[in-house]
Structure 1
Amino acid sequence: MTLTSVATSSARLLDQFGLSAIAQAGDWPVRSPIDGSLLARLRTHTVDEADAAIARAQQAFAVWRNVPAPRRGELVRLFGEVLREEKAALGELVSLEAGKIRSEGLGEVQEMIDICDFAVGLSRQLHGLTIASERPGHRMMEQWHPLGVVGVISAFNFPVAVWAWNAALALVCGDPVVWKPSEKTPLTALACQALFARALQRFGADAPAGLSELLIGGASLGERLVDDPRVALVSATGSTRMGRAVGPRVAQRFGRVLLELGGNNAVIVAPTADLDLAVRGIAFAAVGTCGQRCTSTRRLIVHESVREALVARLKQAYAGLPVGDPLAEGTLVGPLVDGAAFEAMQAALRAAAAEGGTVTGGERLLADAHPDAFYVRPALVEMPAQTATVRHETFAPILYVLTYRDFDAAIALQNDVPQGLSSAIFTNDLREAEAFLAASGSDCGIANVNIGTSGAEIGGAFGGEKETGGGRESGSDAWKNYMRRATNTVNHSRSLPLAQGVRFDI
């Protein structure tokens, strides 16, 4: 794709979303990683405007929490309808702004649609428990109530899906959302707001103003969400460094956090593994989104008996990967997001080589055609041990190869990193598979058998342990993050017995 066509496509899409005027309203530059071309110049919000947005959301909460949950679900259903209508356009904008290949851009919007469907069903299932009371004539139960304003801080690599995970659940749970997207991908956020406005028009008068607020700008706006006591929950996706700053600051004011941070995900390949399956699963997980997923496979722990065969096949697969324009037919690897990501990748490869690693790939591609974009050949690095460089997450398509002989040693190697997001094993040995999934197996929040580490479905809770932050978003019972629990006891008798046999007669 040429610089002219990137700019033309972007202008067409912004016009389709009604954003043409907004896109030229300020001096904040938005560039495409495809070729570095300028897509927009946005006006950023001030801290005072962020404060006003939080105030509007707080006012909306006072109304929205009393709207019946199934009715709240209707708004999310309508939003899902709008997303279906504009899937192609929003998916293309994701590719233009984040550099994802076309199928991944479309897949991200499909993920938004899926979470809307999930949330609509959930809107009739926000149920608590009835609990047996030890006191005669008493009933004890739990209720779940809306929590309050939810602040969402999202990252560039999934510029719309992670917001949708939070927003769809928050809205059916009765909570307004204030969203601070990545500085690198604000246009997709503006497009989402425009589409949500369409859903609001169809929904009618039950929806108060301020249900979904958007803050465009730098770190100071995220800090406003983090520090404001009116923001009941801060859901932040990003680096471990960012999480170390966010977590304590929210805790200091006794707010809630939902942190989705770093991942250093490993795949174990056992002697009985189906290597055809393993090659396909590893390749997608390691190079999809140009290695810029929190669930990207970064470590390959392969049994010595199959190492030579597997590494040879991976090298062959890597050499043939089509790298280039993410919107072109057949491309599998688009660009890194920017020059800083490229420099971080090169620094990691130099460090790995200094630690005894053998590097295949990793070089810059297409620099003559696109001097302001950063395309790379995905790198495969054969390491003598799990060194400090291997234990550090580099957000780029680098796959470190390690060898094991004993299965317990493979599990120990897999777990011996600070991060704990996703993991996988390729094996046809039932005992190994079950041991990997057991309490003494993988210590990650996601553990898979015979699929890669990447590409989670919305039905399961998403998140990880250790320095990944411990948060859970998307499916299962992640909705409980967005609500508060109340335990209620109702006395329908004419006496007043006390619990634990306590007597207090007056």
Structure 2
Amino acid sequence: MFDRSILEKLGIKEENFGACTGLEWSKTTDAGVLEVHSPIDGKLIARVYQASAEDYERVVQKAEEAFKYWRTIPAPRRGEIVRQIGLRLREYKDLLGRLVTYEMGKSIQEGWGEVQEMIDICDFAVGQSRMLYGFTMHSERPNHRMYEQYHPLGPVAIITAFNFPVAVWAWNAMIATVAGDTNIWKPASKVPLTAIAVQNIVGEIVKENDLPEGLFNLVIGKGSVIGERILEDKRIPLVSLTGSTAVGRHAATKISARLGKYILELGGNNAIILTPDANLELAVPAIVFGAVGTAGQRCTTTRRLIIHESIYDRVKESLIKAYKSVRIGNPLDDKIHMGPLVDKGAVDTYLKALEQVKAEGGKIIYGGEVLTGPGYEAGTYVLPTLVEAENHYQIVQEETFAPILYLIKYKGSVENAIEIHNDVVQGLSSSIFTNNLQEAETFLSAWGSDCGIANVNIGTSGAEIGGAFGGEKETGGGRESGSDAWKAYMRRQTNTINFGKELPLAQGIKFEI
């Protein structure tokens, strides 16, 4: 059972407003209302009044005003605010993790893990606040100095998806904050309550430090009212969007039309290659977590398993045995491996994908059912499913946000497996299990995996925040989180200083007057 006192402790009321500038909430009640039901039991959690166009305008104005102040604050002092946010998230980790699970449906272990990911990126961003480095270079002209520096960019819009309702916001917002930007968050309409809870937590820090309105902003609303305005708004120099490839393509078109910047984290069709030299004791648990974690609703979910023919039957038997041990049920129980899909629409997508793969010649070897009976009354629980398939099937080429794993056989060398692996339009995460150094290095080479993330002897999901996160091809090409992803949230400037008494021109050009 979910302890509803958690809602009160996180500032969630029976009826909530959909826009906040960090200090004040909107009062709009006539722009539509979201009724938020838990996929675990189908019960109504709370309602949210959606933001209006007027609410959005006020949010952007406050974000602009706050940016003029925030960009003047030294980056290490900006990092201090992020440090305090990280400490406060530690205090709320249990409560917020439970709300993530109840609202979205992922296991409580993953709910807590998502909040830990927020804490980790706060810690990372604090260190980054003292490492916003530029470069110096030698000028060809005497008595000249050249260097590069990075400046704050402006209000940054962060549009997040339902599957990671809080962590992806933190990836962007914490880095943007130390970079000197203000934040405008539009969460997925399926999971607005976790966003409200986070806004309340961050609001405590804003008030305690006497910071201005507009530093952290939240706007919950319809895509046609709020989303489109964000994409077209020239006052927002950067939009970071997580969603489907179709949504990303639309966003890129709109933002590019105004010559804005964007970070797109879109679809994944992630695969693991198992070569004859794979350590299956390592591989099988990684495969199961990658395919079953978050009920298959991660962008990094393992969707294809490319297995050498010599070990195919052994792997298949091991996976069927492992899948039979997956515990499915109320994800608030910390012993449960897999909870529900996010809603009945996701269940329909799951069933349609299985019908299509069967029509194309695939064979379901485990699962393929919607669970019924006590504990499954919400109609959102399914069996994780194993399907024997071929990579060229149309449904295998697509990303189905559900726990369906396609088993694909390959012959010959690892190059053949890599060719199959790369033969999809998505390019997010990838993995190979092998103890053969040549196979591993081939997979990581320029002619190996074409994904933004490539792993050896670990699975496709569960990326650490220290590395830049993102993919290639129709996954979008953006990068978030660690490494030097911070540069996307700042504007780059090249500077040249003449400290001499003459004015030589570059390239030796002569211009005398």
The interval holding the TM-score normalised by the smaller chain is over 0.9
- Counterpart AA for 1:501: G
After TM superposition, the structure 1 = structure 2 runs for residues 283-298 of structure 1, keeping only pairs within 5 Å, are 283-298=288-303
Residue by residue, what CA displacement relative to the aligned partner does 1:282-317 show, whole Å, maximum 9, x if unpaired? 000000000000000000000001111011000111
The RMSD of aligned alpha carbons is 1.2
Matches of 2:14 and 2:351 in 1, distance apart?
39
Matches of 2:186 and 2:472 in 1, distance apart?
24
Matches of 2:371 and 2:127 in 1, distance apart?
46
Residue by residue, what CA displacement relative to the aligned partner does 1:67-86 show, whole Å, maximum 9, x if unpaired? 11001001000000100011
Q: Does 1:441 align with 2:448?
A: yes
Matches of 1:200 and 1:369 in 2, distance apart?
41
Give yes or no for contact 2:118–2:166 (8 Å, CA) kept in 1: yes
Q: Does 1:213 align with 2:217?
A: yes
Partner residue, 1:173: 179
Partner residue, 2:394: 388
Q: Does 1:244 align with 2:252?
A: no
- Give 1:280's match in structure 2, choosing from 274, 282, 285: 285
Residue by residue, what CA displacement relative to the aligned partner does 1:225-262 show, whole Å, maximum 9, x if unpaired? 11111011000000001001100100101110100000
> How far 1:173 sits from its partner (Å)?
0.4
> How far 1:22 sits from its partner (Å)?
4.3
Give yes or no for contact 1:260–1:471 (8 Å, CA) kept in 2: yes
Matches of 2:490 and 2:38 in 1, distance apart?
38
Deviates more, 1:404-413 or 1:463-472: 404-413
Matches of 2:172 and 2:8 in 1, distance apart?
27
Partner residue, 1:29: 35
Matches of 1:35 and 1:22 in 2, distance apart?
20
> How far 1:42 sits from its partner (Å)?
1.2
TM-score (norm 2): 0.95
Give yes or no for contact 2:126–2:178 (8 Å, CA) kept in 1: yes
- Counterpart AA for 1:171: T
Give yes or no for contact 2:206–2:212 (8 Å, CA) kept in 1: no
After TM superposition, the structure 1 = structure 2 runs for residues 312-327 of structure 1, keeping only pairs within 5 Å, are 312-327=317-332
> How far 1:218 sits from its partner (Å)?
1.7
User: How many residue pairs end up in the alignment?
Assistant: 497
Q: Does 1:269 align with 2:274?
A: yes
Partner residue, 1:344: 349
> How far 1:385 sits from its partner (Å)?
4.5
Residue by residue, what CA displacement relative to the aligned partner does 1:148-206 show, whole Å, maximum 9, x if unpaired? 1100100000000000001000100000000000001000000000000112233x23x
Residue by residue, what CA displacement relative to the aligned partner does 1:5-27 show, whole Å, maximum 9, x if unpaired? 34xx2x31121022326449964
> How far 1:384 sits from its partner (Å)?
4.1
Matches of 2:60 and 2:470 in 1, distance apart?
27
After TM superposition, the structure 1 = structure 2 runs for residues 139-150 of structure 1, keeping only pairs within 5 Å, are 139-150=145-156
Structure 1 pair 157–133 and aligned structure 2 pair: CA distance change class (3 A): same
Partner residue, 1:153: 159
Partner residue, 2:100: 94
Deviates more, 1:213-222 or 1:421-430: 213-222
Partner residue, 2:496: 489
Partner residue, 1:53: 59
Partner residue, 2:11: 18
After TM superposition, the structure 1 = structure 2 runs for residues 168-207 of structure 1, keeping only pairs within 5 Å, are 168-202=174-208, 204-205=209-210, 207=211
Give yes or no for contact 1:367–1:374 (8 Å, CA) kept in 2: no
- Counterpart AA for 1:477: D
Matched position secondary structure for 2:420:
helix
Matched position secondary structure for 2:357:
helix
Give yes or no for contact 1:51–1:224 (8 Å, CA) kept in 2: no
After TM superposition, the structure 1 = structure 2 runs for residues 80-91 of structure 1, keeping only pairs within 5 Å, are 80-91=86-97
Matches of 1:23 and 1:96 in 2, distance apart?
17
> How far 1:367 sits from its partner (Å)?
4.8
Give yes or no for contact 2:390–2:396 (8 Å, CA) kept in 1: no
- Give 2:84's match in structure 1, choosing from 70, 78, 87: 78
Matches of 2:425 and 2:501 in 1, distance apart?
57
Matched position secondary structure for 2:237:
strand
> How far 1:340 sits from its partner (Å)?
0.8
Partner residue, 1:44: 50
Residue by residue, what CA displacement relative to the aligned partner does 1:26-54 show, whole Å, maximum 9, x if unpaired? 64200101011100011110011111101
> How far 1:386 sits from its partner (Å)?
2.9
Matches of 2:48 and 2:485 in 1, distance apart?
34
- Give 1:423's match in structure 2, choosing from 420, 425, 430: 430
Matched position secondary structure for 2:50:
coil
Matches of 1:253 and 1:23 in 2, distance apart?
34
Give yes or no for contact 1:79–1:199 (8 Å, CA) kept in 2: yes
Q: Does 1:503 align with 2:510?
A: yes
Give yes or no for contact 1:144–1:483 (8 Å, CA) kept in 2: yes
Matches of 1:108 and 1:389 in 2, distance apart?
30
Structure 1 pair 392–43 and aligned structure 2 pair: CA distance change class (3 A): same
Residue by residue, what CA displacement relative to the aligned partner does 1:85-141 show, whole Å, maximum 9, x if unpaired? 110000000000010111100000000000000000000111100111000100000
Give yes or no for contact 1:146–1:175 (8 Å, CA) kept in 2: yes
> How far 1:369 sits from its partner (Å)?
4.0
Matched position secondary structure for 2:461:
coil
Give yes or no for contact 1:118–1:459 (8 Å, CA) kept in 2: yes
> How far 1:373 sits from its partner (Å)?
3.5
Give yes or no for contact 2:330–2:375 (8 Å, CA) kept in 1: no
Partner residue, 1:227: 232
Matches of 1:366 and 1:299 in 2, distance apart?
27
Matches of 1:441 and 1:370 in 2, distance apart?
43
Give yes or no for contact 2:243–2:266 (8 Å, CA) kept in 1: yes
Give yes or no for contact 1:14–1:23 (8 Å, CA) kept in 2: no
- Give 2:458's match in structure 1, choosing from 447, 451, 457: 451
Matched position secondary structure for 2:13:
coil
- Counterpart AA for 2:499: H
What is the aligned-residue identity percentage? 55
TM-score (norm 1): 0.96
Residue by residue, what CA displacement relative to the aligned partner does 1:429-465 show, whole Å, maximum 9, x if unpaired? 0000000000000000000000000000000000000
Residue by residue, what CA displacement relative to the aligned partner does 1:463-494 show, whole Å, maximum 9, x if unpaired? 00000000000000000010000100000111
> How far 1:217 sits from its partner (Å)?
1.9
Residue by residue, what CA displacement relative to the aligned partner does 1:395-439 show, whole Å, maximum 9, x if unpaired? 000000101112211101100001000000000000000000000
Matches of 1:217 and 1:497 in 2, distance apart?
56
Matches of 1:114 and 1:458 in 2, distance apart?
7
Structure 1 pair 385–239 and aligned structure 2 pair: CA distance change class (3 A): closer
Matches of 1:494 and 1:328 in 2, distance apart?
75
Give yes or no for contact 1:386–1:402 (8 Å, CA) kept in 2: no
- Counterpart AA for 1:48: E
- Counterpart AA for 1:232: P
Structure 1 pair 121–54 and aligned structure 2 pair: CA distance change class (3 A): same
